A and B are shown apart, each in its own frame.
Chain A
């Protein structure tokens, strides 16, 4: 069974500061990893994903994440926070052992607040 742990349900940063949202996963097989963002009253939008290849993945809006197998982590970073980054962020893992469908397992989410 796979699982996702997001450390910190709420992270607050100042505008211009580094954003670091932590995600650790467990999976019995090499995983696919995702970060989604949810703005208020909206659905989830894919920020970035890791499937194979380069372990440093770049996404939209200046975010990136690094897959570290030895640490079973996939932390999300952005060098300089912007007010528009305020949202809830979800880490998710899917495994490749399924048949025609893969189930995503989501973390509980981290609410990012950006202070002026």
Chain B
């Protein structure tokens, strides 16, 4: 199995829909991240979880709701999104603690289009 798996790879939703993105890592890491990648903009860190606890919320609108039930799974629940939320959403993981050098291991991303 690949290290970090994201589903679905592509998602189209209306502004009133509710959907979820899923991320699963098989690397034994304890930190997981959501990034947003929009065209012509730098990668934006959204959320960080360490050992299932949220340690960073980078001023993300409440229409994005993360969930981390265990160290291997991370979800991003989406509701009442706006067209400007269309982007590639990348999940990443890393070791936590002294073995961490900052290196992130990324999934292939979920391409979201909001109509």
| 8 Å CB interface, B43-91 against A | 43, 45, 48, 50, 55-56, 90
Known: A32-B102, A43-B6. 5 other contacts (CB 8 A): A32-B103, A36-B106, A41-B108, A94-B102, A101-B31
Query: Which residues of chain A are within 8 angstroms of B31 by Cβ–Cβ distance?
Result: 100-101
* C-alpha spacing A41/B90, complex, angstroms: 11
Q: How many A-B residue pairs have CB under 8 A?
A: 61
User: A residues near B, CB below 8 A?
Assistant: 32, 34, 36, 41-46, 49, 51, 90, 92, 94-95, 100-104, 106-109
Residue in A32, A43, A90 whose CB lies within 8 Å of B101:
A32
Taking the nearest CB of chain B, how far is it from the CB of A75, in angstroms?
19
Contact call B100/A102, Cβ cutoff below 8 A: yes
User: B residues near A, CB below 8 A?
Assistant: 4, 6, 31, 41-43, 45, 48, 50, 55-56, 90, 92, 94, 96-97, 100-109, 111
Contact call B101/A103, Cβ cutoff below 8 A: no
Taking the nearest CB of chain A, how far is it from the CB of B100, in angstroms?
6
Given contacts A41-B111, A100-B96, A101-B48, contact A46 B43 (CB under 8 A): no
Contact call A100/B90, Cβ cutoff below 8 A: no
Quick one: which of B4, B45, B90, B100 has the most chain A CB within 10 A? B100
Taking the nearest CB of chain A, how far is it from the CB of B22, in angstroms?
15
